[in-house]
């Protein structure tokens, strides 16, 4: 069975002491070993949380990385730097980066290359906004986000990609995609990957759902055959809610075993 993943994107939340406290609380939940559990804290907390989780099965991700290795890019952090801290994952192309920092598909392609060059797995985010959903353009938007930023990769490189479908209209709005909407898009994405890289690669590509996923709706979303877990924002900021989402994925893994 393909890898199931629940990742918490903390965004720009928590002070250092709150971040350490939340990490301790998450560790105390004794989360599943069947599900890959990832937390993505803000950059300044990475090393401390990496140390705190070192004897656990919780992985640490960055929320972003720059495309260049080093140089005059004030305020930025490179994949090379993350790799030097043994960070294994980074989000790339979150819709907030696309919207507020004008990150384009072609720039994100460079970031994907940079992460892979340093053996960091990209959690590549894609998804349409409300206008695009209402105009029935959602498939085309997601298709070009994925094709433009990922489809130059070799098969061997693509095996390291995790995709997160996050409809922008569902992020932080409390308006989750229905399980049917999520499954429809995830199946579409898997088919796109299959056409480009073949069915054995598409069968192992994890595709996560993100956007107002919480303890109450996670199970219904994760039951879909092409939904391999979640990228969780708000609900990842409370250990018990995050644990409930991980446990929802775990129950489905166990039921399908
Ligand atoms: P919410 O779960 O708060 O809607 O955020 C989703 C998200 O953007 C995760 O990357």
Give ligand 1 pocket residues (Cβ under 6 A): 9, 94, 166, 171-172, 210-213, 231-235
Cβ-based neighbours of 169, under 8 Å, separated by 6 or more: 128, 129, 130, 133, 175, 211
What are the C-alpha distances in Å from 199 to residues 113, 146, 227? 23, 17, 16
| Atom 7 in ligand 1: residue holding the nearest Cα | 233
Predicted local distance difference test score (pLDDT) of residue 257: 87
Which residues in the chain land under pLDDT 70?
A: none
Q: Which domains, and CATH codes, for the chain?
A: 5-64+75-256 (3.20.20.70)
CA neighbours within 13 Å on the CB side: how many for 226?
Answer: 21
DSSP summary character for residue 78: B
Q: Residue 164 pairs with which residues in a beta bridge?
A: 125, 208
Determine the pLDDT at residue 78.
98
Q: Please name every residue paired with 8 in a beta bridge, in sequence order, or none if there are none.
A: 39, 232
Catalytic residue list: 94, 166
Per the CB < 8 A criterion, the answer to whether 228 and 34 are in contact is no
Q: What is the pLDDT of residues 101-149, one digit of tens each?
A: 999 999 999 999 999 999 999 999 999 999 999 999 999 999 999 999 9
The per-residue pLDDT for 21 is 98
Ligand 1 atom with least separation from CA of 91: 10
- Pocket perturbation via mutation, ligand 1, pick of 6, 234, 236, 238 by most ligand atoms within 8 A of CB: 234
């Amino acid at each position: 069975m393909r890898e199931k993943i629940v990742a918490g994107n903390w965004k720009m939340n928590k002070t250092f002491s709150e971040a350490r406290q939340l990490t301790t609380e998450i560790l105390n939940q004794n989360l599943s070993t069947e599900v890959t559990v990832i937390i993505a804290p803000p950059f300044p907390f990475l090393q401390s949380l990496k140390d705190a989780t070192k004897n656990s099965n919780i992985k640490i991700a960055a929320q972003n990385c720059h495309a260049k290795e080093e140089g005059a890019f004030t305020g930025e952090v490179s994949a090379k730097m993350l790799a030097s801290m043994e960070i294994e994952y980074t989000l790339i192309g979150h819709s907030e980066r696309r919207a507020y920092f004008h990150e384009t598909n072609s720039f994100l392609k460079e970031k994907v290359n940079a992460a892979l060059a340093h053996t960091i797995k990209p959690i590549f985010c894609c998804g349409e906004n409300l206008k695009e959903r209402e105009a029935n353009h959602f498939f085309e938007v997601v298709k070009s986000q994925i094709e433009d930023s990922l489809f130059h990769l070799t098969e061997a490189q693509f095996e390291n990609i995790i995709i997160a479908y996050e409809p922008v209209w569902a992020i932080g709005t409390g308006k989750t995609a229905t399980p049917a909407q999520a499954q429809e898009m995830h199946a579409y994405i898997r088919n796109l990957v299959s056409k480009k890289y073949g069915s054995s690669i598409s069968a192992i590509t994890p595709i996560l759902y993100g956007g107002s996923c919480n303890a109450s709706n996670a199970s219904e979303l994760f039951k879909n055959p092409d939904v391999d877990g979640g990228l969780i924002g708000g609900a990842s900021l409370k250990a018990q809610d995050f644990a409930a989402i991980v446990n929802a994925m775990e129950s489905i893994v166990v039921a399908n075993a």
